[in-house]
Chains A and B, each alone.
Chain A
């Protein structure tokens, strides 16, 4: 299995609504131990929505305040983003991820480990 197969896969909720594609994957370092590295990065959830561009430019955490038009655009994109915890994933067949949670019950993604700061 590859991360690239998961990225850009379409996420479908129980009502067969297409919630969009996977834009990023959140990892948490609490997986099986890989010596000498330590705990592996476990897939914690899927970030839906075109938000990564704003994050890369520093808009997510408010470090970048202008131009106002871009800030407004990225804030709007941020509000549309959704987060699917991995526990909600029922099946994944490559191009389609089916989840057990309805789209309107999904929350916003947790803050990333910082735009412009070391993870």
Chain B
């Protein structure tokens, strides 16, 4: 393997703001998923994990983290692991991390979408919010 760009994960990636392709905030980097290379000799960063469940697991609140991930998966059916953002969606790493996806497409926003559709939308007058 040839030398490439280097960075420290804790210093440069963890807790960074995620920004979508339109410049909207899309959560924070709460953890990173590591995968093994085909030869089994190395680990590489395969995904960003973002959301309360991911953060709780990082803070060693594993039972709470598993529960939060379960709730998160419940309100975001069909999205797989809602906290996972594949690293190939990353388009820039700087003061913040830009992902080449829309805020609405990201699983980290699924709980927000569920509350919007199932709670806020049923409040009388909520349809006039932008006015």
Contact = CB atoms under 8 A, between A and B. Distances in A.
B34 interface: yes
Interface bin, chain B: 35 or more
The B contact surface, by secondary structure, is: mixed
Chain A interface mostly: mixed
Contacts of A34: 46, 86-88
A32 B44 contact: yes
Interface in A84-101: 86
Interface residues of A, number: 37
Given A32-B44, A37-B89, A27 B9 contact: yes
Interface in B1-40: 1-14, 31-38
B42 interface: yes
Interface of B: 1-14, 31-38, 42-46, 49, 57-58, 86-91, 93-95, 100
